[in-house]
Amino acid sequence: MITEDQIKNALRGVKYPGFSRDVVSFGLVKELSVRDHAVSVSLQLTSGAPEIAAQIKSDCERALKVLPGLTHLHVEVKLPAGPQAAAAHSPWQNQNRVPGLKKVIAVASGKGGVGKSTTSVNLACALQLLGARVGLLDCDIYGPSIPLMMGIRSKPTVSADESKMVPPVNHGVKLMSMGFLVEGDNPVIWRGPMIMKTIQQFITAVEWGDLDYLLVDLPPGTGDAQLSLCQTVPLDGGVIVTTPQEASLGVVRKGIAMFEKVNVPILGIVENMSYFTAPNGDRVEIFGHGGGRQECERQGITFLGEVPLFTEIRIAGDAGVPIVVSAPQSPAAQAFMAVARAVQAEVA
Ligand SMILES: Nc1ncnc2c1ncn2[C@@H]1O[C@H](COP(=O)(O)OP(=O)(O)O)[C@@H](O)[C@H]1O
Ligand SMILES: [Mg+2]
Q: Concatenated DSSP letters for 290-340?
A: SHHHHHHHHHT--EEEEEEE-HHHHHHHHHTS-HHHH-TTSHHHHHHHHHH
Which residue, 67, 94, 121, sits at the end of a domain? 94
Calculate mean pLDDT across residues 315-328.
97
**Do residues 87 and 144 share a domain?**
no
When divided into structural domains, the chain yields a total of 2
Both 53 and 164 in one domain: the answer is no
State residue 94's pLDDT score.
Answer: 45
Termini Cα distance of the chain:
52
Q: Ligand 1 in contact with 305 (CB < 6 A)?
A: no
What residues make up the domain containing 81? 4-94
Sign of CA dihedral 270, 133, 198, 90: negative
75 and 121 in a common domain: no
The residue type of 205 is: A
Looking at ligand 1, which residue's alpha carbon is closest to its atom 12?
115
Q: Per residue in 25-35, is it b (16+ CB within 10 Å) or e — as a string?
A: bbbbbeeeebe
Q: Is the CB of 122 under 6 A from ligand 1?
A: no
Nearest CA to ligand 1 atom 16: 115
Coil vs helix vs strand at 347: helix
The model's pLDDT over 258-288, given as tens digits with 9 standing for 90+, comes to 998 888 889 999 999 988 877 787 888 877 7
More confident residue, 231 or 68: 68
pLDDT tens digits along 129-175: 999 999 999 998 777 789 999 999 999 999 888 889 999 999 999 99
* Ligand 1 atom closest to 316 (CA): 27
User: Which whole number is the average pLDDT over 18-34?
Assistant: 86
Tell which of 44, 62, 94 closes a domain: 94
Would you say residue 230 has pLDDT above 50?
yes
- Percent of the chain at pLDDT above 90? 53
Measured in Å, residue 117 CA sits from the centre of ligand 1 at 7
Lowest mean pLDDT among 11-15, 30-34, 247-251: 247-251
Q: What percent helix, strand, coil does the chain show, rounded to 5?
A: 40, 25, 40
Q: Is the CB of 314 under 6 A from ligand 1?
A: yes
Ligand nearest the Cα atom of residue 108: 1
* 115 C-beta closer than 6 A to ligand 1: yes
Are 164 and 199 part of one and the same domain?
A: yes
- From 55, 71, 94, the end of a domain falls on 94
Query: From atom 9 of ligand 1, which residue's Cα is the shortest distance away?
Result: 115
Examine the domain organization and report whether 77 and 141 are in the same domain.
Answer: no
Per-residue pLDDT band at 182 (split at 50, 70, 90)? confident
Contacts 24+ apart (CB under 8 A), 160-169: 163/205, 164/205, 164/206, 164/207, 165/201, 165/205, 165/206, 165/207, 166/206, 166/207, 167/135, 167/206, 167/207, 167/208
What's the CA-to-centroid distance between 253 and ligand 1, angstroms? 22
Strands (DSSP E) contained in 23-130 are: 29-35, 38-44, 72-78, 101-109
**pLDDT at residue 52 tops 60:** yes
- Which pLDDT band holds residue 186 (cuts at 50, 70, 90)? low
Mutate to test the pocket of ligand 1, among 118, 149, 245, 307 (most ligand atoms within 8 A of CB): 118
88 confidence band (pLDDT: 50, 70, 90) = very low
Q: What is the pLDDT of residue 96?
A: 58
Instruction: Return the CATH number at 63.
Output: 3.30.300.130
**Same domain flag for 125 and 273:** yes
Neighbours of 197 (CB within 10 A): 12
Q: What is the pTM of this model?
A: 0.76
Task: Give residue 169's pLDDT.
Answer: 98
DSSP state, residue 92:
G
Pair (121, 238) in one structural domain: yes
Q: For strand 173-177 and strand 169-170, is the pairing parallel, antiparallel, or unpaired?
A: antiparallel
Q: Is 274 in the pocket of ligand 1 (CB under 6 A)?
A: no
d(CA 63, CA 11): 6
